[in-house]
């Protein structure tokens, strides 16, 4: 096993003799095996141990065992005494989750403080199988078969290719000692139950089950990676980016195989789950304008001919603009406020606005548009409801929610980013203007 381990860490560039690491060591068989392999491979490392105080005297003996081993091999020892039960109660989480959070936070604290190159963990092939099964039981989909990464950020798991049986054989052949954790034999934890009862039952049904499962999971991993590349291409082709919005034409999803999966991978980063993706895919069969799905801080709208993804609009407090205010900051952009003498060059972009300064009554007010709001659009003689105006110019449903208006003495002077009111326009009699220029 030693030669296989050394070859593996070299081939995969996981661990190098010129770097310094932190070994996470519980004192159990797996971490003691890993510690011995690192020693025999000439790897520089310090040792970290967390006493979770969950097994009384046995927890103290575990810590002393690891401390003595580290000292005998002249490795710096970093212990942590953790109030695990208290931490779990305060956080409203399970003991297992509390222990995990405490453990990884401590490892990162030591790694960063001592400028170490990584934390080496003793997870092995059996742990990986258990993790994948638990992921699949939680309904994680194809990504669940990825399991634990051999290297991710500062975490390194060099034993994922080695089984528990290989580790035990190595320990016995080299007459190495370790600490037994009695809690590992209790089947009241889901992972323990799977290890003690679930997986052995599967192996009994099919002698080659372990090998076949590992092969199948690897193929599914490769399939997932291939899909990732295809999804990126699909996304670039079909998803339109119009900050702060994203949109997907209904037509792009007609007769699209795996529509719910594509939707899930697009929407998942925005807090949507697989059930919602399935419901959205089904709704695309007969899309209804105005249908809404909510994620985490985001909303997906069914617009006229497309899906539109937008941030959930927070309550917008009115902004007041004085004569000397230098800029206007809105959720979707910033405007410089420039005072200019007229005549000057006119900006015809609807995004910006130039208003006759003499017609404005300060302070100006910026707020969300409201039902019943009316204004006289530039070039027209009669007033129009803003709701009707937005329909006329086909503003997407998602964007409607974020439209702001600029008011002077209660009169709408500008539907921001779209059109000014006719009464505020620049005329031959204008002497000065207030220029809202987006930047």
Which residues are annotated binding-site positions? 26-31
Burial of 157 (0-12, 13-18, 19+ CB in 10 A): buried
* Bridge partners, residue 384, by sequence: 375
Across-strand partners of 336?
327, 437
Contact 184, 192 (CB under 8 A): yes
Task: Mark the binding-site residues for ATP, compressed into ranges.
Answer: 26-31
The tally of CA atoms less than 13 A away on the side-chain side of residue 356 is 14
CA distances in angstroms from 320 to 140, 332, 364, listed in the order given:
49, 17, 6
Q: Are 376 and 383 in contact (CB under 8 A)?
A: yes
Tokens of 340: 């200019």
Q: Which two tokens stand for residue 423?
A: 């009464």
CA 391/CA 376 separation, integer angstroms: 15
**What is the maximal distance between C-alpha atoms in the chain?**
99
Please give the helix or strand (H or E) that residue 404 lies within, else none: strand 404-408
The beta-carbon contacts of 97-100 under 8 Å, at least 24 apart in sequence, are: 99/50, 99/52, 99/54
Check: CB of residue 278 under 8 Å from CB of residue 366. Answer: no
- Judged by DSSP in three states, 419 sits in strand
């Amino acid at each position: 096993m030693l030669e296989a381990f050394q070859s593996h860490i070299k081939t995969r560039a996981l661990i190098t003799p010129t770097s310094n690491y932190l070994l996470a060591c519980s004192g159990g068989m797996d971490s003691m095996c890993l510690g011995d392999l690192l020693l025999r491979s000439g790897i520089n490392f310090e040792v970290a141990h967390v006493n979770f105080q969950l097994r009384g005297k046995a927890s103290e003996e575990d810590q002393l065992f690891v401390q003595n081993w580290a000292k005998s091999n002249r490795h710096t020892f970093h212990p942590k005494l953790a109030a695990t039960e208290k931490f779990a109660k305060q956080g409203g989480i399970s003991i297992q989750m509390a222990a995990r959070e405490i453990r990884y936070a401590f490892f990162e604290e030591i790694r960063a403080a001592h400028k170490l190159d990584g934390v080496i963990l003793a997870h092995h092939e059996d742990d990986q199988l258990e993790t994948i099964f638990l992921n699949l039981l939680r309904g994680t989909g194809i990504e669940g078969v990825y399991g634990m990464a051999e290297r991710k950020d500062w975490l390194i798991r060099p034993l994922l290719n080695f089984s528990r049986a290989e580790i035990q054989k190595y320990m016995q052949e080299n007459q190495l000692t370790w600490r037994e954790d009695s809690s590992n034999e209790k089947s009241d934890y889901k992972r323990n139950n799977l290890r003690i009862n679930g997986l052995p039952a599967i192996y009994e049904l099919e002698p080659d089950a372990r090998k076949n499962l590992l092969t199948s999971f690897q193929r599914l991993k490769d399939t997932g990676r291939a899909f990732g590349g295809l999804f990126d291409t699909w996304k670039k082709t079909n998803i339109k980016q119009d900050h702060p919005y994203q949109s997907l034409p209904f037509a792009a999803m007609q007769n699209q195989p795996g529509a719910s999966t594509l939707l899930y991978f697009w929407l998942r980063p925005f807090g949507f789950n697989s059930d919602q993706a399935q419901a959205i895919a089904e709704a695309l069969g007969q899309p209804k304008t105005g249908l809404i799905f909510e994620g985490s801080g985001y909303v997906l709208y069914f617009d006229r001919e497309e899906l539109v993804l937008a941030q959930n609009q927070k309550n917008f407090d009115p902004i007041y603009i004085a004569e000397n205010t230098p800029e206007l900051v809105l959720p979707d952009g910033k405007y410089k406020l420039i005072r200019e003498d007229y005549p000057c060059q006119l900006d015809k972009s609807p995004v910006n606005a130039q208003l006759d300064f003499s017609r404005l009554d300060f302070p100006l007010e910026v707020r969300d548009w409201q039902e019943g709001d009316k204004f006289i659009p530039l070039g027209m003689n009669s007033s129009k409801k803003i709701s009707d105006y937005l329909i006329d110019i086909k503003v997407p449903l998602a964007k409607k929610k974020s439209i702001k208006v600029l008011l002077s003495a209660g009169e709408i002077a500008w539907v921001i980013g779209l059109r000014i009111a006719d009464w505020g326009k620049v005329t031959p009699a204008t002497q000065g203007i207030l220029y809202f220029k987006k930047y």
